[in-house]
Amino acid sequence: MTDASGYVEVARGGDIAKERFAAIMRFPRRAALISGALVPVTAAVNLFVLKDMSWPLFGVTVISALICAFAVRNIVNFRPGAITRLEALAPEIGGQFSLWKAGTGGYAGALFAYGIEHQRFGVLNYAVRGMPVEIGHLSSEVSDRFKAPTGRRHAYVVIRLPERLPHMILSFGRVSGIAGVRVMPDGWHRSQRLDVGFGRRVRLYVADGGEQLARSFFSPEMVQLFRGVGRFYDVEIKDRNLYLFSGRSVAAGPASRWHAQRALVDGVPAQVTDSDVWELVRRQSRGRGPAYGELRADTARAIAIVFSVAAVAVVVLSFIALKAAGLLD
């Protein structure tokens, strides 16, 4: 029996979830409005008010335009309609929907492991052929010193695997790219890349000691499956979870896309559960089993990229400054 205080506590929890969800949705809208207003104002001042163009003010215009574009992208890719679709689907498939959840839920995939202030919203839990599946959205911040002006938003799917596998990341550039173009290089060490038939544009990184299982798992049929998955998601396998990461909600877009995404996501556990790799894992686990390493960050390459970008920025800014001073005329 639940007393009145119990009902009040449940109601209060629902109110908190609604407040947190509203705050997550509100942040990119506010960023889009402010930055969108700054673009025409600063451009007009530069063109019609000032006698000579102000390069710092031009920089404000460009930065505001970029912030506005990314904010609008977040608004479109994670609009409330997508959340409503997941909520409506829950009773049809015997699932459980949550509007908002604090923290990472114990998940250890890359997007959950990095950053701070993780919040999940629009979360649907259900099962496919006995394998638990979670579809949701993740909000986080880069660090306590830097907060993305448009908010960090990612869509994810987590599928619970029958057995533990070595750490693997299958990168199609969906999280590190924009409009199909990879703008951020993968930070994993190139010595851990493994070719299983995806091609040169797709990058599979496998933790040391897991190469045999990776080749067994990525059979020709599984490669074909994940090629289709890679049109929308990056893939990570860590311990007993398979993660799909994207910059757009699974339920976003027209109804045709939503139905296609449902079929794609549900097709992964349906095919993965029939893989021959699980028997190989069970045989290995009867003994001591292999010891898997960790994926290693390519620190030297990351430092080289940072210094290269910094050098280019210094050259460009120096050129702008010299141009503004009239020394290049």
Say if residues 295 and 167 touch (Cβ distance below 8 Å): yes
pLDDT of residue 307: 65
Say if residues 179 and 135 touch (Cβ distance below 8 Å): no
Write down the pTM of the prediction: 0.84
pLDDT of residue 163: 93
Say if residues 169 and 110 touch (Cβ distance below 8 Å): yes
Are 94 and 40 contained in the same domain? no
Tally of domains in the chain: 3
Kindly report the CA angle at 129 between 126 and 135, in degrees rounded to 5? 30
For 270-315, the DSSP string reads HHHTT-THHHHHHHHHHSS-PPP--PPB-HHHHHHHHHHHHHHHHH
pLDDT of residue 309: 66
- Which residue range forms the structural domain that includes residue 190? 80-286
Are 195 and 274 contained in the same domain? yes
How far apart CA 274 and CA 222 sit, in angstroms, is: 10
Residue 292 domain flag:
no
> Where is the domain boundary, 18, 47, 77?
77
pLDDT at 172 over 90: no
Are 13 and 65 contained in the same domain? yes
Are 148 and 275 contained in the same domain? yes
For 102-140, what is each residue's pLDDT tens digit? Answer: 999 999 999 999 889 999 999 999 999 999 999 999 999
How far apart CA 34 and CA 164 sit, in angstroms, is: 47
pLDDT of residue 301: 59
> What's the pLDDT band for 245 if we cut at 50, 70, 90?
very high
Dig out the tokens for 159 from the structure: 């599928």
**Average pLDDT, integer, range 46-54:** 87
Say if residues 118 and 138 touch (Cβ distance below 8 Å): yes
| Parallel, antiparallel or unpaired: strands 181-182 and 116-128 | unpaired
> Where is the domain boundary, 77, 104, 121?
77
pLDDT at 144 over 90: no
How far apart CA 236 and CA 229 sit, in angstroms, is: 12
Phi-psi region of 38 (alpha: psi -120 to 50; beta: other; left: phi over 0): alpha
Kindly report the CA angle at 310 between 304 and 315, in degrees rounded to 5? 125
Are 16 and 125 contained in the same domain? no
Are 8 and 44 contained in the same domain? yes
Number of H helices, E strands in the chain: 9, 8
Residue 317 domain flag:
yes
Phi-psi region of 171 (alpha: psi -120 to 50; beta: other; left: phi over 0): beta
Kindly report the CA angle at 33 between 155 and 16, in degrees rounded to 5? 50
